Amino acid sequence: MKLLKPSPNLSFIVALFFTVAVSVANAAGPIPAAPKVAAKNYILVDADSGHVLAEKEADQQVEPASITKMMTAYVIYRELEADRLSMDDMVTISEKAWRMGGSRMYVEVDSQVSVHDLMKGLIVQSGNDATVALAEHVAGSERAFVDLMNQYAATLGMNNTHYLNSTGWPEEGHLTSARDIATLALAIINEFPEHYAWYKEKLYTYNNIKQYNRNKLLWRDDSVDGIKTGHTESAGYCLVASALRADMRLISVALGADSEKSRASVSQSLLNYGFRFFETHKLYSAGEILNRSRVWKGESDKVSLGLLQDLYITIPRGSYNELEAVMDVDASIVAPLEKGSQHGAVRVNLADEEMLNAPLVALEPVAEGSIFQIAKDHILQLFN
């Protein structure tokens, strides 16, 4: 990768998911199109950069089936983080939870089960009974819990998602999209890595009943460590898979496949495509000083500029040395400055095509200078 260098100031655009242009020609050669797979909707995303490597109808609203339970788990993690819930808390199993059909953990009505055990039942066994029991314990009722689910979906920017229950039980208007599911998967992995480890567990035994994780890729591919399956007659067979190979993590979302075998094959094909033809690199760290710039009319005449977040890029494999990073620093930076205020951008190009454009911000505040400093700098600016 070529060294960072300054250039005239330009505007910037930042996107949550930036689609890598697979037609870019470089030293590594062109990238083939994504494989044709038997899923109605899919998306393949790099977990660090957020770059989308392949997609099909990724914004179409569809039924999520038990993929819904990813948001149920996310809400639980938030409650645990806020100390409003503990893994050791005991939950009384209601009749409603006990009567839930579909996949079950087989808890007994009126029994006391720990949050820890119920979360295992939700994640590994996809238990509808465990899911409803947790929802009722946290919010008093499943309906109230669903309000929390929708609030967090809005906060995460899941604009095509609307939940009506905590389990994914078929209900008209209970919808999401492949892109929104990928957004949620990224949030679970990045915000709660200590809890994410449970998604790779292959089996869980409760009440002397042993049940296996329905994610078949956990047995086929050692790099796969999650995340969730789903199936109803109307939604088809769905799988959210995540794999880590050589520090590169990819997330695939495959919806509407016609069998368990098909959803596993679709996901494996997408993951293999991503790992085979792309690579991800961390370019700069959050808080790393990339530039020391002149400040006018401030207590200090210099400010450190850098990035608020780590900057990753996903590019065609073998093209790292073709990257060129350029800094666009504002021509005039005038105090007072707040920490985090934008004063330029970092652009990263590949083969003359802009791949990334991230804001360059002040890493520390700079207060307004004295009357003397302001007057002096005003005169100097006139001559400059």
Catalytic residue ranges: 66, 69, 126
Q: Report the residue count for the chain.
A: 384
Scan for tokens 């995303």, then name that residue. 45
Determine the 3-state secondary structure of 272 from DSSP: helix
Whole-angstrom distance, CA of residue 135 vs CA of residue 254? 26
Residues 6 or more apart from 249 whose CB is under 8 A from it? 46, 47, 48, 189, 242, 243
Whole-angstrom distance, CA of residue 45 vs CA of residue 73? 21
Whole-angstrom distance, CA of residue 91 vs CA of residue 138? 9
Whole-angstrom distance, CA of residue 20 vs CA of residue 278? 10
Q: Please list the residues that pair with 302 across neighbouring strands.
A: 294
CA distances from 170 to 51, 136, 174, 218, 251 (A): 31, 19, 7, 27, 25
Is residue 188 within 8 A of residue 111, CB to CB? The reply is no
Determine the 3-state secondary structure of 183 from DSSP: helix
